């Protein structure tokens, strides 16, 4: 009985795998201009199987990446386009976003790689204070842009941290000094946001981190 069931399963496999969406590209690499706010790409595909294919859903690895299909059912030999919209926001550096197309003929993994400029370097990204290390510490903000940025500002720091922004070269280089107020007795953490406006008028938000570890 089990052998007979196995034969039936094997006999059905060709029908299950005969339908497939074949993509012209499974990975797209894109380098947008420095002032771009978003990226739009297209993944073209074709149903190369003998049976219709139904797309159940398209999921992405990040909410910043939004897929769009005009339809979900594709007949044998029919072509289609999966449009993908990527919001740059405050992101910088190399960005890799996964896209999974789930169909009744199986899943297809796609990848969008966006090469964004390293707009701001924060060094170090984390400052840690301890009972033995309570002296003032500093970090550097270096804007790697051809045109200077403006409106550089920091969010407020919660106690026990006291921060100050010092301009070294307006629009390009800054120093942030961080002090402790009093003598904390418990673990304290803070996220400080760096706000700036690019030459194109885009507002950016970056962050660095502070911690007191008793």
Q: Return the CATH number at 162.
A: 2.60.40.10
Distances in Å between the Cα of 127 and the Cα atoms of 50, 143, 153 are 60, 20, 18
pLDDT at 7: 43
Question: Which of 91, 115, 139 delimits the end of a domain?
Answer: 115
Question: Do 159 and 84 share a domain, yes or no?
Answer: no
Q: 15 pLDDT exceeds 70?
A: no
Q: How many domains does the chain have?
A: 2
12 falls within a domain: no
142 falls within a domain: yes
pLDDT at 10: 42
Question: Do 200 and 125 share a domain, yes or no?
Answer: yes
Question: Do 78 and 34 share a domain, yes or no?
Answer: yes
Q: 52 pLDDT exceeds 80?
A: yes
Question: Do 107 and 144 share a domain, yes or no?
Answer: no
pLDDT at 149: 93
Question: Do 98 and 65 share a domain, yes or no?
Answer: yes
131 falls within a domain: yes
136: its two tokens: 């003032």
Q: 34 pLDDT exceeds 80?
A: no
Q: pLDDT band for position 91 (50/70/90)?
A: confident
Q: pLDDT band for position 59 (50/70/90)?
A: very high
User: What's the pTM?
Assistant: 0.65
Question: Do 27 and 101 share a domain, yes or no?
Answer: yes
Question: Do 98 and 124 share a domain, yes or no?
Answer: no
Question: Do 161 and 109 share a domain, yes or no?
Answer: no
Question: Do 39 and 85 share a domain, yes or no?
Answer: yes
Long-range interactions of 63-69: CB distance < 8 A, separation 24+: 64/89, 64/91, 64/97, 65/97, 65/99, 65/112, 67/99
pLDDT at 198: 87
Q: pLDDT band for position 17 (50/70/90)?
A: very low
Domain that holds residue 125: 120-212
132 falls within a domain: yes
Question: Do 130 and 81 share a domain, yes or no?
Answer: no
């Amino acid at each position: 009985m089990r052998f007979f069931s196995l034969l039936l399963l094997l006999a059905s496999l060709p029908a299950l795998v005969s339908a497939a969406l074949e993509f012209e590209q499974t990975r797209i690499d894109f380098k947008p201009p420095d002032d771009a706010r978003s990226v739009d790409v297209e993944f073209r595909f074709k149903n190369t199987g003998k049976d219709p294919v139904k797309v159940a859903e398209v999921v992405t690895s990040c909410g910043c990446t939004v897929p769009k299909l005009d339809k979900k059912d594709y007949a044998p030999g029919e072509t289609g386009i999966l449009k993908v919209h990527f919001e740059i926001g405050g992101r910088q550096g190399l960005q890799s976003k996964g896209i999974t197309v789930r169909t009744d003929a199986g899943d297809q993994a796609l990848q969008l790689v966006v090469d964004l400029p390293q707009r701001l370097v924060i060094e170090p990204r984390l400052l840690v204070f301890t009972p033995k290390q309570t002296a003032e510490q500093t970090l550097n903000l270096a804007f790697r842009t051809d045109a200077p940025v403006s409106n550089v500002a920091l969010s407020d720091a919660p106690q026990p941290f006291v921060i100050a922004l010092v301009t070294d070269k307006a629009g390009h280089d800054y120093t942030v000094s961080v002090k402790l107020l009093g003598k904390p007795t418990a673990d304290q953490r803070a996220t400080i946001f760096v706000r700036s406006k690019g030459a194109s008028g885009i507002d950016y938000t970056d962050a660095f981190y502070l911690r007191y570890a008793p």
